[in-house]
Amino acid sequence: MSDRDSIFETVKAQIEPFNKKGVTVTEATTFQGDLEWDSLTVMDFVAAVEDEFDIIITMNMQAEIETVGQLADAVAKLKN
């Protein structure tokens, strides 16, 4: 399993407590459209991901991330 795959699996696990609709999470799952998260949920989730990976995701980065796959890519980039 590559680092990127590992990051994706960890992100997926981080989503579970916030996945109130029981959506099947894939690379293409969107936070707003598929998971239907409000801004407060997004903030809580981002804080959990930042803590898990010991990174900072800027507001500008958050604005560009729409899918779980994009988030995994961003985390992989920030970790290097």
Domain assignments of the chain as residue spans, ordered by start: 3-79
Confidence of residue 80 (pLDDT cuts 50, 70, 90): confident
The pTM of the full predicted model, rounded to 2 decimals, is 0.93
Q: Which CATH class is domain 3-79?
A: mainly alpha
Query: How many angstroms separate the CA atoms of 27 and 29, rounded?
Result: 6
Residues 66 and 32: beta-carbon distance below 8 Å: yes
Residue range 30-45: average pLDDT? Answer: 95
For tokens 């590559």, what's the residue? 2
Does the pLDDT at position 12 exceed 90?
yes
Does the pLDDT at position 66 exceed 90?
yes
Confidence of residue 1 (pLDDT cuts 50, 70, 90): confident
Residues 19 and 45: beta-carbon distance below 8 Å: no
Confidence of residue 55 (pLDDT cuts 50, 70, 90): very high
Q: What is the pLDDT of residue 5?
A: 95
